Amino acid sequence: MKKTLFPAFGILLVDDEPAWLKSFALTLKSCAGINNIVTCQESREVMGLLDQGGIGLVLLDLTMPQPCGETLLQQIGESHPGIMTIIVSGMNQLETAVRCMKLGAFDYIVKTDEEDRLVSGVLRAVRILELQQEFRTMSDRMLSRELKHPEAFVDIVTCDPRMHDLFNYVEAVSPSHQPLLITGESGVGKELVARAVHTLSGCSGPLVAVNVAGLDDTVFADTLFGHVRGAYTGADQARPGMIEQAGNGTLFLDEIGDLSIASQVKLLRLLQEGEYFPLGGDRPKRMNARIVVATHRDLAAREAAGEFRRDLYYRLCTHRISIPPLRERVGDIPLLLDYFLNEAAKSLGKKKPTPPKELAQVLATYSFPGNVRELRGMVYNAVSLHKDRILSMESFLKAIGQSRDTANPPLQSQNPFATFERLPTFVEAAELLVEEAISRSNGVQAIAARLLGISAPALNKRLKMSRK
């Protein structure tokens, strides 16, 4: 199995003490999951290693034989300005630290500092370097507007420019180890985007999806973290949680907006510390999986209402993707209709039916509260009932009518003229209504007539009268 490296760039540890090199490398691996480490005891070899490429961060000891640490710091800044350097020294001297910072060091860490201070300093540098790389990648993607891996999005049928911009963003942030938040209404395809993120991430493990809506705090913890034997009554044997099952892959948490506050605290700690305790266990386990979350809810509104923790919200918003609803990309409807007709015909063992020419236009007048999932259901239902060569529109019209009746209250309770200072005449109101129906149907009179609930000849007669 391919080993996943974190971070994507190498970290070079430079010190003439082999014991310290070995100890600190183990500390970074066990406490932060950092395993892309190169060590060097000879200061004279440092520039040659950097010239080979692949190194993004250098942890440099000051007190070494020639060239000394300060000399190397200057050389790195001049020859490799894109590489970040942290000074790791045994001397806790303010003057030395200030001098190193003026020479371009990102940070100055004392070897005798607590382990958490050492690790957090390295992780902070890694995060900044990742953000810089992501910014450069996104800039290149947005300028070129060309996908390097279009095959990752083959299951997402679209011709909408906003969706293609979204794909460019996904390509840019997929390799990141930071959480990714996917928002959008139910049925827009959030899990499909999560699968594309996983494909592009390069993670060696599987994609594990969990719908967390409705899980109470205990079930949520058991589902994610697992438990040890004897953790509670009935726990006859240990069970790994979803985090462990995801391994070096991706953990996709759907409907994250429905988590209880108690569960939000557990998720926040997991994201902050990168480790967790199985239920009943006293030894922490390291999380290696990438976290991707999704919700159809407005998290900003829930955070403002006190229903979602602010610190968790901002941590999840490091990378954010918002998928537009189907009603805002009606140009995708003909493509999706053809795609689902093919899919449904194969699934049901039928020959692909020919849709009426006006079907796509009729569907374009509908708001699709269930989005792509609702359209797929309509197509499958129509194909299952299909008998003739031309696909009947009856089931589509019935589904649209029932949904509109359910979604829209009677006009009596929402009188559109209630706020008018001057009521329009019957003739004026009829003309405006016809004009709006023609606009919504893109000039197709048969569809406009259906929207108005009149026959096509009656609409044609009204149009002729209005032109006189």
Interhelix angle 445-452/456-467, nearest 10 degrees: 100
Q: Angle, nearest 10°, between helix axes 217-225 and 261-273?
A: 30
Dihedral sign, CA of 423, 429, 432, 433? positive
Strands 226-227 and 107-110: unpaired
* Integer Cα distance of 396 and 272 in angstroms: 48
Tokens linked to 427: 């003739």
In whole angstroms, give the CA distance from residue 227 to residue 210: 17
> What pTM was estimated for this model as a whole?
0.72
Local mean pLDDT, 10-residue blocks, the chain (468 residues): 76 93 91 90 93 94 87 92 91 87 91 85 90 78 77 94 92 89 96 95 90 91 92 87 93 95 94 90 89 95 93 91 95 95 94 90 90 95 88 88 55 68 80 80 74 77 72
| DSSP per residue, 341-398 | HHHHHHHHT-PPPBPPTTHHHHHHTS--TTHHHHHHHHHHHHHHH--SSBPPSHHHHH
Alpha carbon 127 to chain centroid distance? 18
The owner of tokens 């590489």 is 83
What count of residues does the chain have? 468
Q: What pLDDT score does 372 carry?
A: 96
Q: Check residue 175 and give its pLDDT.
A: 86
Say what the pLDDT of residue 299 is. 94
Using CA atoms, how far residue 76 sits from 126, 184, 323, in Å, is 17, 45, 43
pLDDT in tens, 301-314: 999 999 999 999 99
Dihedral, 156, 157, 162, 168 alpha carbons, nearest 10: 40
> Which residues pair with residue 108 across a beta bridge?
87
- In the prediction, which pLDDT does 1 show? 44
**In angstroms, rounded to a whole number, what is the distance separating the alpha carbons of residues 96 and 91?**
8
Longest distance between any two alpha carbons in the chain, whole Å = 98
Q: How many Cβ atoms sit within 10 Å of the Cβ of residue 155?
A: 13
Collapsing DSSP to helix, strand or coil, 239 comes out as strand
Look at residue 87 and give its three-state secondary structure. Answer: strand
Question: Chain centroid to CA 228: how far?
Answer: 32
Where b means 16+ CB within 10 Å and e means fewer, 167-196 reads: bbbbbbbbbbbbbbbbbbbebbbbbbbbbb
pLDDT of residue 376: 96
Q: What is the DSSP string of 138-178?
A: HHHHHHH---S-GGGGTTS----HHHHHHHHHHHHHTT--S
Residue-wise pLDDT tens digits, 141-159: 666 678 889 999 999 999 9
For residue 426, the model assigns a pLDDT of 80
Tell me the C-alpha distance between 294 and 194, whole Å: 9
Cis peptide before 410, with omega less than 30 degrees from 0?
A: no
**Cα-Cα-Cα-Cα dihedral of 298, 302, 307, 310, to 10°?**
100
Q: Where are the alpha helices (DSSP H) in 174-203?
A: 190-201
